[in-house]
């Protein structure tokens, strides 16, 4: 940037009502001027009801599963009933002859898992492919009815040669365990955590260790320590359980492909399908309106979407493929299990001298069962050693799930820090004051402790009766992520109506409402004056809804586009009210001089447009003070996101039942755009955290490889009765980094919950639970009332 393209501006920085100041930033010339703190704004920062609320409460909101196209066919998948087998032959003859069948596709190339460099697949149409888990897709059928498609799937004859398999994490690590992969593997870290990358050692089913992220000299640090705490922690496999199943309607035409898909990333699906089918980006359109939950699992097209597109091309008709609940549970991704051995050393005053973590986990046949960057980044410690390994088992591949890596990572580290505090004779908050350099979390601890009543906390196991109460807390850390490849258009029409357009999708977070707020604020209008068009790649390519980056990525370009199109309008109308364009602002539905002496209504101003509409497309500029890291389209802001949560539990020592009675969460997300919607997301993060801590667990049968609770009644998820009182407090943390200064909230709110509960359970009963879920059986075993069970799979 040359100085000619930039200008200097003063931005508010600091935590509102704690310590506000101003900072000068050089910003690109097209940027909207600095936005004052929320208290001085009309629309941004207000709890505006979500714009599609009415559609959602009346059943009118169109979800992907509701899409019906003329001539639409229905597809079903044939999936492996065996956990490991070689497919010797596939006979589709009878299926082809079944009435109503229009297309059959045998799946030879699979995606979304670790890939062997050689030996896994054989040429199309022949036998020899290995299926690696129960549910591994083999073929797809499209027919005129779902029943006909299923009947045809059942008629496909597959000759399987069963192979030895392993689904237990500990069994899979043994040298003589059946091999999931027999050749070196590579691939992306689908589950989001480390390890990934190439050139890791591979022995048997173990890939790793990956040592990246280590720093300093851990051995020297432990030699310096007065106190060392060392323990092993185990976390289970959690499944996403989006209430709307994964699904799409693929419509292949001569002039291009249109896909209606329940996805977190329309622009990403477009790129993925264009590449997979050799189509130009301009000939692929991806659409999602209402979207029934993703939590990381609807980020890519996967095998099912490729199958549906292939069937549509073959049948020359639209094809609907929607997974059923059983398929959702076994083959739509999951949060990997981990086994983490942590060792933390400190001096008597609490200063950390070393952290060493040796962790392995399983993402099934996928990669990325690591523990993220939590332990690596949250506390001040010069010596940090990290060894991470993936263990392959014959189970469906993991994928990113809300704060991948950091959720299991925080469960282990935050309990270890509490153990260290106890050994040092320090309050957990006092120790964190010493080792946590974040000024934001310091404020969050202060607010949280006061609101929660931390001073009520007593010695562990203080209650004398069978029901024991306890208080605990834990902290959160998550990258403030940004995708710079995020664009948005704002249009003003001659009748004064306004549109904001981007392919960004609303997966339930309410980003459409936030876009209306941003544009309304800039144009001096009301949110209901703005028509929001999103979830369609016909519009400028927006960001994904993952990584807690959506608001940070798309609201600055939305504001800049609104600002720039408004300047165009002002240039046009300024002469009509004899004012200098530079002196005009938009507020309260009018374009006026700063002193309000001359003005014109927004609609009357728009009537002067020489064309039916004008528009400006803007994309995400870099954070004003630069990013901490940038790789391609993705970047991390200089300051990570924090959050502190406090939990109060009651543990019944006779039944082992843990009840979470109250949670206080203090969170930050830069500038909060819509506090009510943010509160919704934080509540959701906490409730998923409680559910992860106490109830959820995928159970695989080690004798058959089948998931035993592949449904929604035996896979236990928190519901209304287990919902505690939740108080959410949001910091306004201004940093002067973009046109909106907003960052994300979804993932940070999900990280601290499980360890806060675990620390509270310890405070209640005086015994630590180092394994998830903290089920009644686990609690009773920890209390010595029943035998310990073996580890999770």
Partner 1 sequence: MLDTTLPDFLASDAQAAERDAVGPGPVPLTLDVNNVSHSLFIEPKTTLAEALRDSLDLTGTKVGCDRGACSACTVWLDGKPIAACMMLAIDVGSRKITTIEGLAHGDELHPVQSAFIAHDAVQCGFCTPGLVMSCAALLESNPTLTIDDIKAATSGHLCRCGTHPHVHDAMLDASRIRKT
The residue ranges that bind partner 1 (CB under 8 A) are 47, 49-50, 52-63, 65-66, 68, 240-245, 290-293, 295, 324-325, 507-510, 676-677, 679-681, 683-688, 711-713, 717-721, 723, 726
DSSP result, 622-683: PPTT--SEEETTEEE-SS-B--EEEEEEEEETTT--EEEEEEEEEEE-BS-S-HHHHHHHHH
Q: Shortest gap between Cβ of 628 and partner 1 (angstroms)?
A: 30
**Rounded distance, CA 728 to CA 742, Å?**
18
Q: What is residue 266's three-state secondary structure?
A: helix
Do 413 and 375 contact (CB within 8 A), yes or no?
yes
> How far apart are CB 55 and partner 1 at their closest, in Å?
8
Would you tell me how many other CB atoms lie within 10 Å of the CB of residue 788? 11
**DSSP characters for 450-467?**
HHHTGGG--STT---SSE
Strand order from edge to edge, sheet including 481-483: 481-483, 634-636, 629-631
Closer to partner 1 by CB, 238 or 376: give it: 238
301 neighbors 310 (Cβ within 8 angstroms) = no
Output the smallest distance, CB 222 to partner 1, in A.
41
Shortest Cβ 756–partner 1 spacing (Å): 16
Q: Which is nearer to partner 1, 484 or 688 (CB)?
A: 688
Burial (0-12, 13-18, 19+ Cβ within 10 Å), 29: exposed
Phi-psi map region of 197: left, alpha, beta (phi>0 left; psi -120 to 50 alpha): left
Nearest to 639 by CA among 486, 371, 376, 440: 440
Q: List C-alpha distances in Å: 663 to 147, 161, 272, 440.
A: 47, 52, 41, 19
How far apart are CB 358 and partner 1 at their closest, in Å? 33
Cα–Cα distance, 405 to 684 (Å, whole number): 18
Beta bridge partners of 230: 343
For partner 1, give the closer residue by CB, 61 or 628. Answer: 61
The rounded distance, in Å, linking the Cα atoms of 339 and 359 is 6
Instruction: Compare residues 153 and 482 and give the one whose CB is closer to partner 1.
Output: 153
Tokens of 454: 């931390």
Least Å from the CB of residue 551 to partner 1: 15
* Token digits of residue 581: 């364009």
Compute the least distance from the CB of residue 532 to partner 1, in Å. 15
Q: Between 604 and 722, name the residue whose CB sits nearer to partner 1.
A: 722
d(CA 312, CA 273): 13
Residue 210 vs 505, nearer CB to partner 1: 505
Is the CB of 259 or the CB of 291 nearer to partner 1? 291
For residues 735, 740, 746 and 752, what is the CA-based torsion angle, rounded to 10 degrees? 10
The contacts of residue 786 (CB under 8 Å, 6+ apart) are 777, 780
Rounded to an integer, what distance in angstroms lies between the CA atom of residue 452 and that of residue 257? 54
Give the residue with the Cβ less far from partner 1, 325 or 423.
325
* Tokens of residue 268, six digits: 């990403």
Q: DSSP strand E in 127-269: where?
A: 130-131, 137-143, 157-162, 185-186, 202-203, 206-210, 227-235, 238-239, 247-253, 256-261
CB-nearer residue toward partner 1: 63 or 493: 63
Shortest separation between residue 68's beta carbon and partner 1, angstroms: 8
Cβ proximity to partner 1: between 313 and 662 the closer is 662
CB of 242 to partner 1, least distance (A): 6
> What is the chain's length?
793
Contact 293, 508 (CB under 8 A): yes
Neighbours of 52 (CB within 10 A): 18
| Residue number, 536 or 679, with CB nearest to partner 1 | 679
Query: Taking the complex as a whole, how short is the minimal distance between the CB of residue 513 and partner 1, in angstroms?
Result: 10
Smallest separation, CB 508 to partner 1 (Å): 3
Question: Which of 158, 690 has the CB closer to partner 1?
Answer: 690
Closest-CA residue to 740 (of 557, 537, 582): 557
Question: In terms of CB distance, is 11 or 715 closer to partner 1?
Answer: 715
> What is the closest distance, in whole angstroms, from the C-beta atom of residue 545 to partner 1 in the complex?
11
Shortest reach from residue 38's CB to partner 1, in Å: 18
Q: Where are the beta strands (DSSP E) in 121-241?
A: 130-131, 137-143, 157-162, 185-186, 202-203, 206-210, 227-235, 238-239
Shortest separation between residue 635's beta carbon and partner 1, angstroms: 27
Q: Which is nearer to partner 1, 97 or 719 (CB)?
A: 719
Taking the least distance from each CB to partner 1, the nearer of 66 and 170 is 66
For residue 728, the minimal CB distance to partner 1 (Å) is: 9
Query: Shortest approach of partner 1 to residue 646 CB, angstroms?
Result: 16
**What is d(CA 323, CA 13) in angstroms, rounded to the nearest whole number?**
47
Q: Is 265 helix (H, G, I), strand (E, B) or coil?
A: coil
Residue 49 or 776 with smaller CB distance to partner 1: 49
Cα separation of 386 and 212, whole Å? 7
Residue 76 in contact with residue 95, Cβ under 8 Å? no
| CA nearest neighbour of 66 among 308, 307, 252, 245 | 245
């Amino acid at each position: 940037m040359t100085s000619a393209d930039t200008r200097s501006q003063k931005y508010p920085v600091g935590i509102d009502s704690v310590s506000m100041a101003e900072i000068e930033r050089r910003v690109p010339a097209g940027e909207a001027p600095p936005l004052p703190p929320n208290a001085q704004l009309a629309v941004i920062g207000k709890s505006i009801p979500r714009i599609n609320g009415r559609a959602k409460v009346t059943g009118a909101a169109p979800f992907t599963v509701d899409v019906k196209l003329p001539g639409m066919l229905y597809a079903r998948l044939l999936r492996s009933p065996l956990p490991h087998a070689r497919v010797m032959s596939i006979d589709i003859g009878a299926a082809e002859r079944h009435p109503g069948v229009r297309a059959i596709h045998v799946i030879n190339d699979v995606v979304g898992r670790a890939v062997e460099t050689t030996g896994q697949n054989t040429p199309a149409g022949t036998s020899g492919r290995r299926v690696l888990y129960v549910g591994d897709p083999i073929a797809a059928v499209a027919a005129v009815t779902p029943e006909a498609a299923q009947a045809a799937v059942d008629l496909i004859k597959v000759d399987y040669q069963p192979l030895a398999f392993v689904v237990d994490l500990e069994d899979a690590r043994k040298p003589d365990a059946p091999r999931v992969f027999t050749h070196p593997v590579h691939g992306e870290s689908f589950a989001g955590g480390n390890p990934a990358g190439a050139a890791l050692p591979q022995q048997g089913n173990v890939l790793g260790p990956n040592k990246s992220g280590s720093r300093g000299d851990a051995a020297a640090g432990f030699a310096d320590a007065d106190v060392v705490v060392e323990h092993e922690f185990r976390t289970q496999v959690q499944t996403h359980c989006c209430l709307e199943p994964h699904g799409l309607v693929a419509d292949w035409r001569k002039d291009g492909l249109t896909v209606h898909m329940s996805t977190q990333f329309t622009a990403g699906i477009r790129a993925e399908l264009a590449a997979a089918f050799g189509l130009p980006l301009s000939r692929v359109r991806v659409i999602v309106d209402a979207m029934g939950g993703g939590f990381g699992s609807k980020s890519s097209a996967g095998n099912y979407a490729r199958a549906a597109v292939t069937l549509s091309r073959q049948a020359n008709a639209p094809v609907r493929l929607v997974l059923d609940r059983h398929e959702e549970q076994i083959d739509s991704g999951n949060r990997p299990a981990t086994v983490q051995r942590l060792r933390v050393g400190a001096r008597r005053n609490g200063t950390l001298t070393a952290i060493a973590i040796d962790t392995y986990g399983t993402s099934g046949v996928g990669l990325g069962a690591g523990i993220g960057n939590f332990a690596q980044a949250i506390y001040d410690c010069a010596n940090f050693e990290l060894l991470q390994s993936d263990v392959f088992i014959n189970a469906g591949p993991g994928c990113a799930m809300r704060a991948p890596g950091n959720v299991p990572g925080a469960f282990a580290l935050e309990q270890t820090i509490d153990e260290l505090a106890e050994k040092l004779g320090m309050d957990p908050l006092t120790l964190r004051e010493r080792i946590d350099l974040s000024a934001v979390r310091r404020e969050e601890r202060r607010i949280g402790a006061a609101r929660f009543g931390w001073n009520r906390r007593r010695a562990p196991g203080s209650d004398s009766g069978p029901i024991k109460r306890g208080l605990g807390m834990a902290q959160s850390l998550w990258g403030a992520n940004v995708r710079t490849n995020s664009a948005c258009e704002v249009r003003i029409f001659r009748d004064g109506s306004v549109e904001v357009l981007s392919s960004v999708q609303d997966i339930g977070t309410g980003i459409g409402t936030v876009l209306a707020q941003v544009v309304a604020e800039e144009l001096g209008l009301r949110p209901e004056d703005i028509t929001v068009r999103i979830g369609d790649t016909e519009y400028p390519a927006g960001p994904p809804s993952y990584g807690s980056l959506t608001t940070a990525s798309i609201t600055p370009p939305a504001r800049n586009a609104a600002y720039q199109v408004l300047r165009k309008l002002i240039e046009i109308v300024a002469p009509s009210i004899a004012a200098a364009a530079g002196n005009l602002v938009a507020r309260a539905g009018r374009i006026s001089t700063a002193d309000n002496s001359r003005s014109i209504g927004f609609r009357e101003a728009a009537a002067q447009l020489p064309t039916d509409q004008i528009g400006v497309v803007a994309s995400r500029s870099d954070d004003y003070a630069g990013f901490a890291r940038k790789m391609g389209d993705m970047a991390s802001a200089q300051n990570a996101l924090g959050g502190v949560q406090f939990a109060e539990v009651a543990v019944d020592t006779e039944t082992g039942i843990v009840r979470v009675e109250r949670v206080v969460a203090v969170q930050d997300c830069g500038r909060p755009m819509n506090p009510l919607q943010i509160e919704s997301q934080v509540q959701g993060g906490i409730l998923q955290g409680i559910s992860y801590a106490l109830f959820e667990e995928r159970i695989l049968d080690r004798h058959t490889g089948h998931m035993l609770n592949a449904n929604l009644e035996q896979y236990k998820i928190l519901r209304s009765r287990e919902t505690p009182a939740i108080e959410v407090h949001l910091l306004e943390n201004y940093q002067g980094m973009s046109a909106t200064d907003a960052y994300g909230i979804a993932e940070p709110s999900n990280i601290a919950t499980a360890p806060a509960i675990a620390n509270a359970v310890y405070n209640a009963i005086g015994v630590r639970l180092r394994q998830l879920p903290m089920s009644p059986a686990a609690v009773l075993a920890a209390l010595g009332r029943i035998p310990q069970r073996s580890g999770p799979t």
